[in-house]
Amino acid sequence: MSLEAFATSRPLTMGVELELQIVNRHDYDLMPGSKDLLRVMEGVALPGDVTPEITDSMIELCTNVCDSYDQVLEQLTITRDALVRSADKLNLGLSGGGTHPYQHWSKQRIFDKPRFQEISGLYGYLSKQFTVFGQHVHIGCEGPDQALRLLHGLSRYIPHLIALSASSPYVQGNDTGFHSARLNSVFAFPLSGRAPFVLTWDDFLIYFEKMTRTGVVRSMKDFYWDIRPKPEYGTIEVRVLDTPLTIEKASALAALIQCLARWISHDRPFELAEDDYLPYTFNRFQACRFGLDGTFVDPKSGEHRSLREDLNVTLHALEPHAVALRAEPALRYIREEMRWQGNDATWARGVFEKEQLLNELVRQQCERWAGRPI
């Protein structure tokens, strides 16, 4: 099986996908409701789309191709409001967050669709444990080679993005001690992690051919990489973010990635090298475990500093690009978030400390997602 051609797309456009939790309004546990929700949503005009996900307590929404932060926020607002209205009609709650704090993976049901059944057959319980919720951000690229360069350039900031978006401290009723426990579930998949260090599409095709020859891979969908090229859209897809608890945060994170992409492709602030991946898993782990207070090892200098410090320096460098992309409010939002609580995982821990009830935490998450006061 050969890989399809890399489609053309406008550079630096973005598309956002958000996976959401569907919960009941009694004890706020996950509840199968995607089919009903999709039926009620039929005929509602949306700027993007709403589709089922692997288990029927999940739903995914996405935007169309957007140019700016404002546009992403506007589209997400329209879709969010329509979804919340439909969910209210069915007495369902919708929530962001990378994991559901106390759902039992064994109770999840695989959505009835051939691909999902196939995944379930192959990965067994892992596919049910994969009841985790992420935000994916697509960035349009000039061409395939530029896409690969951008992919490896953005890899340096994967830990920063993990730390900012982390919203999954609780799993199966317990505090994991992690800010993002969701990524531990993704890591269980054999083809997860980083993409191979190839910088031209021709080399990537050779790699893909070799992988298909082993019979391990049939399409790009079989790779669960942190960032992967998406040839049919002409984009690269950043997949490490936990679904934030609000659409405002989701939009701000998408805009941050857009700014990073512009900076990396225009200014080429650092040379790409395979060796930059040496501290990659360490940095990634630090971000998942400690959030913005995690240690960041600079791949070039080997210096140790906190992710927060490195992010502050980066945000400064991004300023002109934010102006060019009309994304200043997004960067302001991120700065504010870093000053206030860091990420949604810290917020969640604060709520739990006060309420001592995870069910109440999920209720408050639903209210935040709906944009209602708590």
Partner 1 sequence: MNDLANFLQFTTWPPRADWLFWASLILVAAGLLGELVNRRLGLPRVVGYSVVGMLLAATGHGIYSNGALDARLRLVVDLALALLLFEMGSRVNLRWLRNNKALLWASAAEATASFVAVGFGLTLLGVDPLISISCAVLTMAASGAVIGRVGAELQSAGQVSERMVAMTALNTIYGVLAHKLLMGWLQLEQKGDWLEAVAQPLYAFIGSVIVATLLARLIAWLMRKLDLRNENSVLMLLGLVLVALSVARVLNLSTLLVPLMAGMVLRNTTERPWVWPRHFGTAGGVLVLLLFVAVGSAWTLQALAAGAVLALALLLLRLLAKALALVGLARVSGIDARQGVALAVCLSPISGSTLVLFSEVQARHPDIALQLAPVILSTIALMELAGPIAVQWGLRLAGEQQPHAAPNREAKR
Residues in contact with partner 1 by the rule CB under 8 A: 24-28, 31-33, 36, 39-40, 86, 88-91, 106-107, 109, 355-357, 359-360, 363
C-beta of 97 vs 279, nearer to partner 1: 97
Contact status, residue 87 vs residue 28, Cβ threshold 8 Å: no
Shortest distance, position 39 Cβ to partner 1, whole Å? 7
Token pair of 133, please? 């919720």
Measured at the CA of 163, the angle between CA 157 and CA 165, to 5 degrees, comes to 100
The residue (of 109 and 221) whose beta carbon lies closer to partner 1 is: 109
Q: Select 32 or 196, whichever has its Cβ closest to partner 1.
A: 32
Closer by beta carbon to partner 1, 284 or else 363: 363
Q: How far is the CB of 89 from partner 1 (least distance, A)?
A: 5
Q: Which residues of 258-287 are buried (b: 16+ CB within 10 A; e: fewer)?
A: bbbbbbbbeeeeeebeeebbebbeebbbbb
- Is the Cβ of residue 301 or residue 356 nearer to partner 1 in the bound state? 356
CB closer to partner 1 out of 177 and 373: 373
Instruction: Compute the C-alpha angle 19/22/23, nearest 5°.
Output: 145
Nearer to partner 1, 38 or 126 (CB): 38
Task: Give me the least distance between CB of 23 and partner 1, in Å please.
Answer: 10
Least separation in angstroms between CB 167 and partner 1:
20
**Which residues, at least 6 apart from 272, have a Cβ–Cβ distance to it below 8 Å?**
149, 152, 153, 199
Is the dihedral angle over the CA atoms 221, 225, 227, 229 positive or is it negative? negative
CB of 182 to partner 1, least distance (A): 23
Tell me the closest approach of the beta carbon of residue 363 to partner 1, in angstroms: 6
- CA-CA-CA-CA dihedral for 76, 339, 335, 72, to nearest 10: 0
Other residues' Cβ atoms within 10 Å of the Cβ of residue 143: 14
Does residue 64 contact residue 4 with C-beta atoms inside 8 Å? no
Residue 176 CB, nearest approach to partner 1 (Å) = 20
